[in-house]
Structure 1
Amino acid sequence: MSSRPHPNYRPDIDGLRALAVLPVLLYHAHVPGFSGGFIGVDIFFVISGYLITGIIAREIDAGDFSILKFYERRARRILPALFAVIAFVLIGASWLYLPGDFEGVPRSALAALGFLANVWLFMEAGYFQAAAETMPLLHTWSLGVEEQFYIIFPVILIVIAGIAPRWRLRAVIALTIGSFIWAVAKQADTDSFAFYLLPPRAWELLIGSLLALGVAPVIKNRWINEVLCGGALIAIIGATIFYSKDTIFPGLTALPPVLGAAILIHCARGTVTGRLLSMRGPVAIGLISYSLYLWHWPLIVFTQYAQDAPLSGWQPAAVIAASLVAAWASWRFIERPFRNPASFGRKRVFQWSAAGMGALSLAAVLMIMQGGWTSRFPAETVRFAAAVNDISPVRDACITNQIGGDRPQCTLGADAQPQAVIWGDSHGVELAWELGQQYSKDGRSIAQRTRASCAPAIGYDDVRDPDCLTFNQAVWAELADSPSIQTVYLAAFWARDNYRDADAGKLMDDTIGQLQSLGKSVVLIGPVPPQTSSVPRRLALHGANAQTASRSTFKAQTDWFTQHFAKWRSEGVRIIEPANMLFTGNNSIIVADGQPLYFDSHHLSLAGARRVLAEGTAD
């Protein structure tokens, strides 16, 4: 394969690829200062839209566009390294993953092979949820968005060229605006629709497409270009530094990195910024950026899984170095040969692509048929790992997880009008089930009103979940209109930073007072000591002597809340403190009588809920 660059080659765009992939890598490796590194994916979208649309438009205008040739290029570019990573992930997970974690891996592999990973992840989990730590193919969602775009967009351009070629630019502008409006409308939703799916993401690719179609005039004034490119670089760096997992994204917040990337593509040539991007180091990283993006995440996930802890100390540097080595090898020995028409003709490209797709799909299906593949592990390991399923049988049915979701009307216990209610976030779910079991013994029932990540406090507002406020207002109205409900249990993840930052202690003080003014008895279930990783996994990997969180750490996390307990007790509130049942000395207890007390890192399992409620029985 010739090393001579194409006459239209732009090294600054390879440098921009480096500016996209490095923040993603450093963010995932938990390197301080890169909390917004996820915006690198948005930069990739703009670059892709610009380069690919330019090729499609030129070939359509020349009457030389072929869908077959287009997908041959995509196959050469995308499939070889992707196949290698998927094979590595399937083998690695088969060796390393516990049954409950393993089951999703072959399913995610099938989704990635079909370029539907974004759809699968939208249906399964959120990007920043804890489950992400066990998903080695999570990052392939972006390939799904891109390939879905390139299934639809070339057809749109062909149709426009056939019926209204003069309207091409205006049509793409309309599509861009429509997609952006959709993204902004969905940006605050907690269902991840705006993050994962094509309609609200397409505008980022279309911004690049508009550049390729000539929407922006050439700027001839050097100093204007210098200022624009300097500002664009600052916008991208600023988003990388100051954004975080708590930033509402994408939507309006995606504008700085997206427009910054577009400005650099349009104006960087001949500028100081362009020369920086064209330096040997950034260009070298840009050349291997696709393989680096593919390889880094599985390496990070497997490393963290094997040690059952996030990267720390020297480990981020080691994993970054390993990712760079794997990316270079993947680019040199997998990507480059497959892109060379002299080595792989069109027929061979499609044959190898079909063979790779078929072999990996078959392997994934066979693994799915194995379920958790429990035969790989000793019985005790399997038993500990199975605690991820020790949850309320009605967990999914009786909790609201997303914006706009219906408020479940769940009553647990006997077939009777509820005399109590448990009001809380997801920490109340297993407690509600166990309270229901207690109430049923006396022919009584308890209502469950729970919403994920929503503190049971009047006035609590979460910018990422605007429906939390209305949910709590609805629960309050229901309580005010239900004299038969005499007891209100309040339960939440009180160790959560968001609650502390919102001064939930003060809000709870007011809420308790208002509940008592209605004549309700209030039972507050205090904070559950959070662990640093999934308890079933930790026990399965390390046994009953696994390290646990300390009382001193727990105290530092929850003092802001527990400092109110003396006052609330003096006002007649009964307080159940999980810490009394979940600590021995300075160490927390995560297993009792052979049963894990958590089903993840901070939610009590049913066994844990029974233990905590042993401190205080139902009224």
Structure 2
Amino acid sequence: MLHYRSDIDGLRALAVIAVVAYHAGIPGFSGGFVGVDVFFVISGYLISGLLLNEMEATGKVDLLAFYARRIRRILPMLLLVVATTLLLALLLFPDDQKRIGRSVTSVFFFFSNHYILNKAGDYFEPGTDLVPFLHTWSLAVEEQFYFVWPLLFLVFARFHTGAVRKITLICAVALLSLLSLLGSIWLTETNMPRAFYLMPTRAWEFGFGALALCYVRYGQALPEKLAGTLALVGLLGIAFAVGSYHESMLFPGIAALLPVIATVLLLLAGTYQNGWVTRLLSSSPATAIGLLSYSWYLWHWPLMSLVRIYDLGQRDMLRDSLLALLALGLAWLTFDTVENRFRRAQGWFTTNRSTVLTGLFLSVLIVLGGALVVKWSGYQDHHIGGVYLARKDIPPLRYACHFRPWTMVDEQKLQDQPPCTLGEGKLEVVLWGDSHADHLMPLLMVANQMDALHVLQRSQGACPPLLGAAPYSNGRLNTGCADFNKKMSALTLLNAQQGAKGVILAGRWLSYVPDTRQSVRSSGEVSRILVADGEQANTDPQWVLQVFEQALQRTVDTLVAQQLRIIVMAPIPQMPFSAPTCLMRRSASDCGVPSAQFMQQKQAVMAVLSRVAGRHPSWVKVVDLSEALCSDWICPAFKEGHVLYSDDNHLTATASRSLYPVLRNELSWLAGRS
């Protein structure tokens, strides 16, 4: 039988404290995200124990009863937290209602891990701070696992008995766990966000918990001294992972083995109740927090995220720590009234059948509530005004001529130019770069209308126009970008042979090249650097600048050799937050970046651009639009009645068009007309 173990509630307390402290940014908890891995192992241990009990007692597995128990355990608190979050979004954030409302369906049908992966991307990116239901990815992984896991026990209950069933079940669990672990290690190296979010690459953690359960059930009792040693090693292993792991490392993969194995050791050692570690975990404070762990986990993140949305994405350790305590208070208030109350079969949750039907009904009801929030948001879009709509003021050719980041672009698609070619006759200018090339296209469309400039746009997100180097982020090299630039080089040289005169090279240089006086990224961000072809990643700022300069020089030399004139676009100001969001919640004077700060930020990059251009003074010009975007003291988000940015760094189409007079003479030179 599986008896209640108070030390497991203490282990839950360790896990939830680690996660909450990590989200609050408390020092010493940089790896607190491993608390979720601890939860997964505990879950695999307990749920496998319940299934094994039922299989051995009755010779079968009642799937309806199993899912009814999961609904009573998970759904009531989840409904309360999501409904509260939706209500707060409706009252406080008219500009974010649609985004938040759309995510509700994924929460209640347990695919939020896929939704967040597709919409928000990497878990460690700062943008995920603004996703109130981010934390439900782990619930989705868990429930996806338990859609499948009981079927394994059902198969063994029907077709095996006695010792054969025991041995084959353990072998099956071990084999499936090994396959999942190997898949996790491989995918972490090749596509870390998918490895982080997807159930198949997390299943081994539940499996390790199940194997721990099998040992406790069928193995020999651990000697007292060995149990004490294992408990200490397990506790130190979790503490080391929580204190030393960080956002820039590859995870889960091999790194997840430490917290997972450490948790397994604590589960094994906890069967000996007299060890000091087990007594510590079984203490009243630890078990009290452990009992509240699910409610605390659910409450803490929406509170932090909603406040960060209001505060334009800014993190504040003191504020977030107070919110964590508020969430703990809410967990205490709702534990008996909601979570614990509905665990007991009563009312609409009396029978298994009524529980499942009620769960489905309530889930559909809250999903409809999310849909109504989205609908209401659509209505508000027409009444909020131009500031909010600046988010949608994007280049009209973006979806036709700007390729998605981190993808391999088919050569045929690259050569299929309409509608990405503006003008009649011979092509004059090629626009090549990342999204900071794309946002120049409205300006060039004006040039086409006013001066009959014949332009071709070819750009890819997160891909600066550099030959021999590519962006590197979270242990992954952007090989799609390297391939795109090789193809673009060949296409541009072909256009030169057919009469093209010039090329505009535009990139969000500041996101690939750090300021040499600062670290590559601040502590709240994931590092993204440039890596030269065939070399290992090196985060030293001076090294990255050298890679940037060599790659840009190689690109310019290649183009100049074909007698192409070149304009290299200098960095434009980047806001510390979304400009439309800031303007919705603050005065325009609060929504900008000091000019002096921006000048310092771009100094190292400007020095590189000047040196590269200086080696071909007759063929290369550096054009700096910031002179038109900034005053002597501020680079604003709002100027002369227009919002300048659609997010934190991309020009609105309106702002781009307004800059045409600034670039008119340079474009004439670029096209060989002067």
Q: Which residue of the partner structure matches residue 119 of structure 1? A: 114
Which amino acid letter does the alignment assign opposite residue 48 of structure 2?
Answer: T
- Distance apart, 1:7 and its partner CA: 8.5
The two structures, once aligned, show a CA RMSD in angstroms of 3.0
Distance in structure 2 (CA, Å) of the matches to 1:204 and 1:86: 27
The alpha-carbon deviation at position 154 of structure 1 amounts to 0.3
User: Compared with structure 1, are the counterparts of its residues 152 and 611 closer, same or farther at alpha carbon in structure 2 (3 Å cutoff)?
Assistant: same
2:444 is aligned with 1:444: no
Does the 8 Å contact 1:459/1:469 carry over to 2? no
Q: Deviations over 1:368-420 (max 9, x none)?
A: 33343407x9x4x4321111112233435523323657576275332677554
Q: Does 1:233 align with 2:235?
A: yes
Given the alignment of the two structures, is residue 54 of structure 1 paired with residue 62 of structure 2, yes or no?
no
CA distance in 1, matches of 2:407, 2:285: 44
Question: Does the 8 A contact of 1:458 with 1:469 survive in 2?
Answer: no
Alignment of 1:98-137 (within 5 A): 98-99=94-95, 101-126=96-121, 127-137=123-133
Cα distance in 1 for partners of 2:256, 2:155 equals 30
Please name the residue that 1:490 is paired with: 506
- In 2 relative to 1, CA 118–495 (structure 1 residues): closer, same or farther, beyond 3 Å? closer
In 2, distance between residues paired with 1:362 and 1:592? 40
Measured after TM superposition, the shift of residue 238 of structure 1 is 3.0
Partner of 1:3: none
Structure-1 residue corresponding to 2:78: 82
Q: 2:529 matched to 1:499?
A: yes
**Residue range with higher mean Cα deviation, 326-335 or 457-466:** 457-466
Distance 2:65 2:637 in 1: 58
Q: Tell whether 2:92 aligns with 1:96.
A: yes
Match runs of 1:369-408 below 5 Å? 369-374=375-380, 379=383, 381-396=384-399, 398-402=402-406
SS in 2 for 1:213: helix
- Partner of residue 512 from structure 1, selected from 545, 552, 556: 552
Match for 2:510: what amino acid? W
Q: CA deviation at 1:96?
A: 1.5
Residue aligned with 2:232, SS: helix
Give 1:334 shift: 0.6
Residue 265, structure 1, aligned to residue 305, structure 2: no
Contact 1:277 1:283 in 2 (8 A): yes
Pairing 1:277–2:281 present: yes
Determine the C-alpha separation between the residues in 1 that align with 2:445 and 2:6: 65
* Mapping 1:320-339, distance limit 5 Å: 320-339=324-343
Give the aligned partner of residue 251 of structure 1. Answer: 253
Residue 583 of structure 2 is aligned with which of 520, 539, 543?
539
Pair 1:374–1:222, CA change in 2 (3 A)? same
TM-score, length of structure 2 as denominator length: 0.82
Q: 1:374 to 1:218 in 2, by over 3 A?
A: farther
- Please state how far the C-alpha of 1:322 moved relative to its aligned partner: 0.8
Q: 2:592 aligns with which of 548, 571, 574?
A: 548
Q: In 2, are the aligned partners of 1:219 and 1:225 still within 8 Å (CA)?
A: no
Query: Aligned-pair distance for 1:89?
Result: 1.4
Query: Contact 2:568–2:609 at 8 Å: present in 1 too?
Result: no
1:346 to 319, 344, 351: 351
- Equivalence for 2:621: 574
Using the TM superposition, give the Cα deviation of residue 361 of structure 1 relative to its aligned residue in structure 2, in angstroms. Answer: 2.7
> Hey, what's the Cα distance between the residues in 1 that align with 2:281 and 2:229?
16
Partner of residue 362 from structure 2, selected from 344, 356, 366: 356
1:191 CA drift (Å): 7.8
Aligned to 1:413: 421
Matched, 1:158 2:166: no
Point out the more displaced range, 102-111 or 425-434.
425-434
Structure 1 residue 279: Cα displacement: 2.7
Residue identity in the other structure for 1:173: A
Alpha-carbon separation, structure 2, partners of 1:84 and 1:330: 9
Q: Residue 472 of structure 1 is aligned with which of 464, 482, 490? A: 482
Q: Which among 11, 15, 32 is matched to residue 20 of structure 1?
A: 15
How far does residue 282 in structure 1 lie from its aligned partner after superposition?
Answer: 2.3
Would you say the 8 A contact 1:176–1:202 is kept in 2? yes
Q: Matched residue pairs, number?
A: 610
| One-letter amino acid matched to 2:632 | G
List alignment gaps of at least 5 residues for structure 1.
1-5
Q: Distance in 1 between matches of 2:584 and 2:626?
A: 23
Could you tell me how far apart the structure 2 residues matched to 1:60 and 1:539 are? 60
Asked if 1:595 corresponds to 2:595, the answer is no
CA distance in 2: counterparts of 1:240 and 1:612, whole angstroms: 49
Contact 1:422 1:488 in 2 (8 A): yes
3-state secondary structure, aligned to 2:663: coil
> Retained in 1: the 8 A contact 2:431–2:457?
yes
On the 8 A contact 1:425/1:491 being kept in 2, the answer is yes
Shift in Å at residue 455 of structure 1? 7.2
Change (3 A) 1:11 1:93: same
Quickly say closer, same or farther: Cα 1:456–1:295, change in 2 above 3 A. Answer: farther
* Distance (Å, rounded) in 2 between the aligned partners of 1:394 and 1:593: 25
- In 1, the alpha carbon distance for the partners of 2:298 and 2:588 equals 36
Instruction: Give the counterpart letter for 2:365 in structure 1.
Output: A
Deviations 1:556-580 (A, max 9, x none): 4333323334423422342222432
Deviation at 1:436, TM superposition (A): 5.5
Q: In structure 1, what residue type is equivalent to 2:56?
A: D
CA shift for structure 1 position 288 = 0.6
SS of the residue 1:214 aligns to: helix
Measure the CA separation in 2 of the matches of 1:350 and 1:16.
30
Q: Cα offset for 1:249?
A: 2.2
> Alignment partner of 1:456: what SS?
coil
The 1:109–1:463 alpha-carbon spacing in structure 2 relative to 1, beyond 3 Å, is closer
Q: 1:25-40 maps to which residues of 2 (within 5 A)?
A: 25-40=20-35
CA distance in 1 between counterparts of 2:495 and 2:480 reads 23
Q: What is the alpha-carbon distance in structure 1 between the residues aligned to residue 446 and residue 129 of structure 2?
A: 34
SS at match of 1:604: coil
**Change over 3 Å in CA distance of 1:383–1:470 after alignment to 2:** closer
Change (3 A) 1:243 1:98: farther
Distance 1:301 1:472, change over 3 A: same
Contact 2:464 2:507 in 1 (8 A): no
Normalised by the length of structure 1, the TM-score is 0.89
Per-residue deviation, residues 63-94 of structure 1 (Å, max 9, x unmatched): 25322221221111101100101110121111
Compare 43-52 and 444-453 and name the one that shifted more: 444-453
Q: Hey, what's the Cα distance between the residues in 1 that align with 2:428 and 2:376? A: 46
- Spell out, residue by residue over 1:516-549, the C-alpha distance to the aligned partner (whole angstroms, 9 max, x if none): 4322434322223222221111111224333322
Q: Provide the C-alpha distance between the structure 2 equivalents of 1:370 and 1:319, rounded to a whole number of angstroms.
A: 29
Distance (whole Å) between structure 1 residues aligned to residue 341 and residue 263 of structure 2: 30
Of 351-360 and 107-116, more deviation after overlay is shown by 351-360
Find the aligned partners of 1:151 and 1:234 in 2 and give their Cα distance: 33
Q: Is residue 207 from structure 1 mapped to residue 183 from structure 2 by the alignment?
A: no
CA apart distance, 1:60: 0.9
SS of the counterpart of 2:19?
Answer: helix
Distance in 2 (CA, whole Å) between partners of 1:458 and 1:250 is 30
Amino acid across the alignment from 1:263: L
User: Does the 8 Å CA contact 1:425/1:450 hold for their aligned counterparts?
Assistant: yes
Moved more, 26-35 or 204-213: 26-35
